[in-house]
Amino acid sequence: MTDLFSPLRIGRLDLPNRILMSAMTRTRATPDNVPTELMAEYFAQRAGAGLIVTDCTAVSPQGRGVIRGPGIWRDDQIAGWRRVTDRVHAAGGRIFCQIWHCGRVAHPDMRDGEIPVAPSAIPAKGDFFLPSGRVDFPVPRELGIEELSGIVADFAQATRNARAAEFDGVELHGANGYLHDQFLQDGSNKRTDAYGGSAENRVRLMVETTRAMIDAWDAAHCGVRLSPSSYLYGVDDSDKRATFGAVIDQLNALGIAYLTLLEPNAKDAEKGVQIDHVAETFRSRVTVPLIVNTGFDKAKGDAAIVEGKADAVAFGVPYIANPDLVERLRRDAPLNKPDPSTFYGEGAKGYTDYPALTEAQPA
């Protein structure tokens, strides 16, 4: 029987299991966005995952939206990431770099005064964390149509840089209210040019970016992440089934290595989601390996795979506190409890100091 512990081929990678580590922001890079030795230790500790996906990694200075978040547009960043991939590979793991542009989800005070950009001049909802405290999001600058080819080129270069850093592939962060999600959904995209209006136009930037990433490497090394039910930072769409169906169809046609779909979380559910069961809704349309994420435990993950709703399950928070999550799930061992106060910050506390299961501990 195929379950969480069965092997899976994604692109050109043979994964030993279907328990993947989801991309998660942890803010342990340097203030100028260079991956650190501590990050190398963190990811190497979790090399038992079928596949690791890194923190969201900015493709350009304009794309930055996280304090102490990593980037991949400079040589020193590539060198930092190569130390990470070397450690992961030495531990027997596989790792993709999630490449990303924050769009409107940023603040000038962490970007030398630069105003964030977006498909339309509509501010993100919520607030932004600065060392001085939380502040409202500013009204972003609407991107000119002539600027979009440069953003696509940044993702192509980031893909080449990830290859130079010896990653096993790249994932386009097309989810969670960031730039590509902002273009995709009509609540944040009010453009009237070739990148706005119809769903066919709104998927254009996502598809052009993915195609450029494929041209920079190949389809077998490129995945995409989408969140059809997320309301993060105020993204919304009048017809999510149609919009996300349209982009899924086009990504299928490109033959990408995999597609990750996020199920709604508790905060999404409070707002009343259009799509309660994302994997079930889109499973029949997805022709590439399908990864599901959000709210899964061992039982739910096994059920999703056994019932054919997904090919693999990505775990987020459980991997924060359990570097050996695969072994713990295999043995039905207790899980360490995560400390939310250390999810973001600096240093090893709550990052690399969670204990692994030992043979001396009862399963």
> Catalytic amino acids?
178
Residues recorded for the chain: 363
Cβ atoms of 26 and 55 within 8 Å: the answer is yes
The DSSP element (H or E) to which 179 belongs, if any, is helix 179-184
Our measurement of the distance from residue 268's CA atom to the centroid of its chain's CA atoms, rounded to an integer in Å, reads 17
| 165 touches 72 (CB < 8 A) | yes
**How far apart, in whole angstroms, are the C-alpha atoms of residue 178 and residue 261?**
15
Provide φ and ψ at 97, rounded to 5°: -95, 125
CA 310, CA 290: separation in Å to the nearest integer?
Answer: 5
Q: What angle do CA 30, 35, 36 make, to 5 degrees?
A: 80
3-state secondary structure 223-256: EEEECCCCCHHHCCCCCHHHHHHHHHHHHHHHCC
